[in-house]
Amino acid sequence: MANLFKHARNRPGWQPQRQAAWLVLLGALIMLTFGGISLSQIANYASTNREIEALIDERDRLELQNEQLRAEIASLQTVPRLLERAQSLGYRPATSADIEHITVDGYNPNRNETVVELQEEEEAAAPQYDATFAGWLQQEWDKLVNQFRAFGR
Q: What is the DSSP letter of 125?
A: -
- CA 146 centroid distance within chain: 34
Tens of pLDDT along the chain (153 residues)? 556 566 655 555 556 678 888 899 999 999 999 999 999 999 999 999 999 999 999 999 999 999 999 999 998 889 999 899 999 999 998 898 889 988 888 887 777 766 666 666 655 666 666 678 888 888 899 999 998 888 776
pTM, whole model, 2 decimals?
0.40
Domain ranges of the chain: 18-92
H helix or E strand, kind and range, residue 128: none
